[in-house]
Structure 1
Amino acid sequence: MIRLLIVDDEHIERTALQRIIEEGSPDVKVVGQASNGREAIEAAERLQPDLITMDIKMPGINGLQAIEKIRETNKTVKFIVVTAFDTFEFAQQAIKLGVYDYMLKPSRISVVLETIGRVASEIKNIQLELASRRSEQELLLKMIPLVEADLVEQLLFDCVQSASLSELIDLVGMPTGREGFVMTMQFTQVSEESSTRIRDLDMAYMQLNERLPEISNPMWLGKMSGNQVPAIVFMDGEFSYRAQAISIAKKWLQVMDDRCGFRLFIGIGGLSKDIWDMRKSYQEALLASMDRTLPARYCLYENLTQDQIQTMGILTFEMEKTVLEEMRRGNLEGSGDQIVRMIDVFEGIGQGVGMSQQRIFEVLIVVSRMLQEMGMEVNTPYFPYATTSYMQLRAESRLLIHNLISLGEVVETDLLQTMKQYIQKHAHEDLSLERIAATVDRNPFYVSKLFKEHFGMNYIDFLTDYRIEMAKQLMQETDKSLKEITFEVGYNDPNYFSRVFKKLVGYAPTDYRKMLIRPTNKKHS
């Protein structure tokens, strides 16, 4: 709807014009009237119209002066001037002020409607174009974090860099300075009693993104992998690398402290002169984050002694635990990420490729045994040959992880059993898919898919079947009323329970109970 303000010093002219528009232009709404230039300026600011019909000859501030004043605060409003003077001088002034059209007094109704309609149509087109641009900008804003995460992935993790990498950088905008460093943000549980949930880590990651504007330095945030988020931080300002790194680390610790049940530890790599050299800073950040017992809860790589760096290799057992946890969740990609991170640590401390390959092989053997204990058929992992470079080791290790289990076999039999037992134990309660998924630390969509594939029904059908079986058993073994049984098996409405029961069993609950007790009566008789 186009919002119109009518400005004219003659009441009868304003009333007549409003009636013509209301009867002949359904897409235009008259939101107000003004009788002089001063009122027009005030009404335009208050009502924010899209279109103003402006009389020129008015006492005090005339129409052209009012247009000029309104233009100072509203650049988009369109004007149609209404005048009895058709002169060249007037036309010059109107064009200079950006007047869209004009009508001579008096004008026929058809001319008024045609002029108003033409301008209204143009305003609609402009509004649609602006809405489309806003939609594109909003979409772009949503995409930028994804693009930045992809850039971090390609720059830090030895991925084959895509041909469009430079285009992606152009899309998000390269910061003024190309110098920067890498931070790895590690999330650990606040207490051992709490259990790590995927949704909690997702929430922590979302809050990282939300608080990103509070960090003064330009930063590209990578994706959450396991419990770690890498970030490329660019230098900004006159302060030294060390001062900026410590300042950012303290800021992150302040805004993210104990969020979602996690505590943050930050490892900080050394300064790189260019974004293409950030991988070395990433390896240094990993090493700096290995010992998370430091009270400051952040560590710069340059603070580590050579002896500390050499002992980092034995601290990778935490990473090994994360590999197992990701695999237990059925997350092959996450397991591969953790394996690659271990290899990055080995490379960072200068360990030989052969020794690193042996360590990774040992981890893969443990993973395969765990999968076998879960009842899965597992392919025996082995490296077909000795790798000669860390890049090759990373690629081969990822391949072995994905080849451990045949496609479609990542089915957690213990997980299914856990869900079944949980539903049976809590069937009398209000059980949502999200609640069931939370008990096994899974995505609700994944749980729904798992039910469908392995039980041939969705979770609500499984729950309903179990409740009805409970009701049948209670009818046979107890003297409880049907109303009591209704509430005991998890329904709040006896009528609804009766409909569900009849649909599944074929009989109403009262009829079914009579069928159960009839043989007993015959026996007594």
Structure 2
Amino acid sequence: MITLLIVDDEPIERTALQRMIEEGFDDVEIVGQAANGREAIELAARLKPDVITMDIKMPGIGGLQVIERIRETDKDAAFIVVTAYDTFEFAQQALRMGVRDYLLKPSKTAVVLETIGKVAGDVKASRRERESRARDKERLRRMLPVVEADIVSQLLFDYAPSVHLNELIALLGEPEIGGGFVLNVLLLEGSAGDDAPAEPEELQARLAELLEASGVPGWIGRLSGKQLPLVAFKTPGASYRQTAVGLGRRLVQALRRGGGPEPFIGIGGPSAGLNELRRSYHEALLAAVDPSLPARFCLYEDLARHDAPSPGDRMPELEKAVLEDVRRGGWEAATAGAWRLVDLHESSGQPLGIAQQRIFEVLVIVARMLEEMGYEVGKPYYSRLASSFVQLKAETGALLGRMAETTALAAGEPEPGLVASMKKFIKDHASEDLSLERVAAAVDRNPFYVSKLFKSQFGMNYIDYLTECRMEAAKQLMRETDKSLKEITYDVGYRDPNYFSRVFKKIVGHSPTDYRKTLLRPADRNR
């Protein structure tokens, strides 16, 4: 229903216009009449009509002045001016003010109805467009946490790079940054025992609100087990340390106020670009080796203040190299690196007990990282205090060997039917907003495991496989139906035809229009 306000200082004109509209339209409701400009301003503010017919020549405030006043508080109202003047200057002025149309006094009923019908149709179209934009905005709002988590996973855990990674980052609007860094949020046992972490959506919402309130832009990853990675960006000119310490303190305070598990946050060093964030993540893991620190957060650059005397500058780099080798699946290299750590402790004169404790902390970080990647390896424990550095190397190798066996078993041939079930679910639901979490829930598996399974079984990222399914569906619709490209865009799960066309050309090698031309039947080609 379109609401309309009539403004005219002549009662007969108002009555006649209302009668014509009521008899000519079922979907236009007259919500009021105003006899002068001041009354028109008051009624427009209270009734918020969709359309206002405005008499130009009225005593007191003129019609064009009234339009300007109403425009200050209502940008969407559509105006039809009613005037006895049909001049070029008047038309120019009306257009500058955004008037939709005008009626000359006197006008025939057919002209009045045609003019009002046209403007009412424009208002309906604008309303539908606003509602569509609002729905798209709401869908985008719900989708952004999923997009953020997917980007963080790809940047930190080196899954097969998605062809859409840059477009996903563009969708979020990569902030103007002076350097990014990673925080690893651990949710430990609370005072009441082994409390479960908050619901992922609730935790992400709380962290997003905190980031917004702090003025620090960032992306929030997925909650896995009891840890959650977060990428933060300092603004140009801001100090990394000031930003990191302030954000770490706010996060701890906010999570403590929310109840539940006790938080501890490891904070990695700054990175010059997105491709260096994985190093910052490894540093964040190492910064969280001692969650008993009273501040409840620790910067990687401050580790030396809490450690035993350092055996040398090579130690942190060797520790990060072990993590990187494990992440890549290079267990032999990781074991050799761990042995070099033992040798370095021994050659620097470190007591055996301190060396074993430090190596144990590195193994705990390895276990946490594997958990993030979807492998349940449990917490590593030395069976006893080593009696020599040789024995420490042997025990360390055995622990890494057991982790390697566990991950190899988990990454081996999946259960019969699991891959087929995943493929069928994706094909059946490819046209929907299908997240990795939803696919994982459908097969009752960890999202990280599903992501790794896609890489090992299909040689591609999950989102790339979903894209291929959508492109195959689009090609089938082009072969078997006469639907427009816009209809096909929506049918296969996209909302933007231009974006669909870009993806189609990237995957298929031809634009949708060119591809469709190749599908002409032989009979069509011979005509």
Q: TM-score, normalised by structure 2?
A: 0.62
In the other structure, the counterpart of 1:53 is 53
Cα distance in 2 for partners of 1:83, 1:266 equals 70
1:145/1:361 CA distance change after superposition, 3 Å: same
- DSSP 3-state at the match of 2:246: helix
In the other structure, the counterpart of 1:78 is 78
In the other structure, the counterpart of 1:232 is 231
For structure 1, the residue ranges without an aligned partner over 5 or more in a row are 324-331, 343-351, 365-380, 383-396, 410-442, 448-525
In the other structure, the counterpart of 1:315 is 361
Match of 2:410 among 382, 401, 405: 401
For structure 2, the residue ranges without an aligned partner over 5 or more in a row are 311-315, 317-354, 381-391, 419-440, 446-527
Preserved contact between residue 367 and residue 378 of structure 2 (Cα < 8 Å): no
Rg (Cα) greater in structure: 1
In the other structure, the counterpart of 1:217 is 216
Give the CA deviation at 1:60: 0.8
Aligned-residue sequence identity (percent) comes to: 46
1:272/1:339 CA distance change after superposition, 3 Å: farther
Preserved contact between residue 201 and residue 227 of structure 1 (Cα < 8 Å): no
- DSSP 3-state at the match of 1:214: helix
1:262/1:93 CA distance change after superposition, 3 Å: same
Q: Does 1:294 align with 2:289?
A: no
1:360/1:406 CA distance change after superposition, 3 Å: farther
1:341/1:9 CA distance change after superposition, 3 Å: farther
In the other structure, the counterpart of 1:136 is 136
Letter in 2 for 1:302: E
In the other structure, the counterpart of 1:159 is 159
Cα distance in 1 for partners of 2:81, 2:206 equals 52
Letter in 2 for 1:183: L
Preserved contact between residue 271 and residue 277 of structure 2 (Cα < 8 Å): yes
- CA RMSD between the two structures: 3.5
- DSSP 3-state at the match of 1:139: helix
Alignment of 1:338-487 (within 5 A): 358-363=398-403, 381=405, 397=407, 399-403=408-412, 406-407=415-416
In the other structure, the counterpart of 2:374 is 336
Preserved contact between residue 284 and residue 300 of structure 2 (Cα < 8 Å): yes
In the other structure, the counterpart of 1:117 is 117
Preserved contact between residue 335 and residue 401 of structure 1 (Cα < 8 Å): no
Give the CA deviation at 1:340: 12
Cα distance in 2 for partners of 1:243, 1:229 equals 22
Give the CA deviation at 1:81: 1.2
Give the CA deviation at 1:17: 1.9
Cα distance in 2 for partners of 1:358, 1:157 equals 25
For residues 91-146 of structure 1, give each alpha carbon's deviation from its aligned partner in whole angstroms, at most 9, with x where no partner exists: 33323322211112233333222211111001111111122122222222222222
Give the CA deviation at 1:67: 1.7
Cα distance in 2 for partners of 1:355, 1:167 equals 46
Cα distance in 2 for partners of 1:210, 1:180 equals 19
For residues 421-446 of structure 1, give each alpha carbon's deviation from its aligned partner in whole angstroms, at most 9, with x where no partner exists: xxxxxxxxxxxxxxxxxxxxxx9997
Q: TM-score, normalised by structure 1?
A: 0.62
- DSSP 3-state at the match of 2:191: coil
Greater shift in the superposed pair: 184-193 or 199-208: 199-208
In the other structure, the counterpart of 2:184 is 184
Give the CA deviation at 1:299: 0.6
In the other structure, the counterpart of 2:91 is 91
Q: Does 1:253 align with 2:227?
A: no
Greater shift in the superposed pair: 165-174 or 69-78: 69-78
- DSSP 3-state at the match of 2:72: helix
Greater shift in the superposed pair: 47-56 or 173-182: 173-182
Give the CA deviation at 1:59: 0.5
Alignment of 1:484-503 (within 5 A): none
In the other structure, the counterpart of 1:23 is 23
Cα distance in 1 for partners of 2:444, 2:375 equals 21
Preserved contact between residue 364 and residue 379 of structure 2 (Cα < 8 Å): no
Give the CA deviation at 1:341: 11
Letter in 1 for 2:116: I
1:99/1:200 CA distance change after superposition, 3 Å: closer
1:85/1:240 CA distance change after superposition, 3 Å: closer
Letter in 2 for 1:109: T
Q: Does 1:171 align with 2:171?
A: yes
Give the CA deviation at 1:363: 4.0
Letter in 2 for 1:274: G
1:340/1:169 CA distance change after superposition, 3 Å: farther
1:87/1:302 CA distance change after superposition, 3 Å: closer
Cα distance in 2 for partners of 1:263, 1:341 equals 19
Alignment of 1:276-291 (within 5 A): 276-291=275-290
Letter in 1 for 2:242: A
Letter in 2 for 1:156: L
Preserved contact between residue 195 and residue 260 of structure 2 (Cα < 8 Å): no
For residues 378-423 of structure 1, give each alpha carbon's deviation from its aligned partner in whole angstroms, at most 9, with x where no partner exists: xxx57xxxxxxxxxxxxxx3x53143873479xxxxxxxxxxxxxx
Preserved contact between residue 178 and residue 275 of structure 1 (Cα < 8 Å): no
- DSSP 3-state at the match of 2:206: helix
For residues 281-321 of structure 1, give each alpha carbon's deviation from its aligned partner in whole angstroms, at most 9, with x where no partner exists: 11110011121111110011111126486644413676799
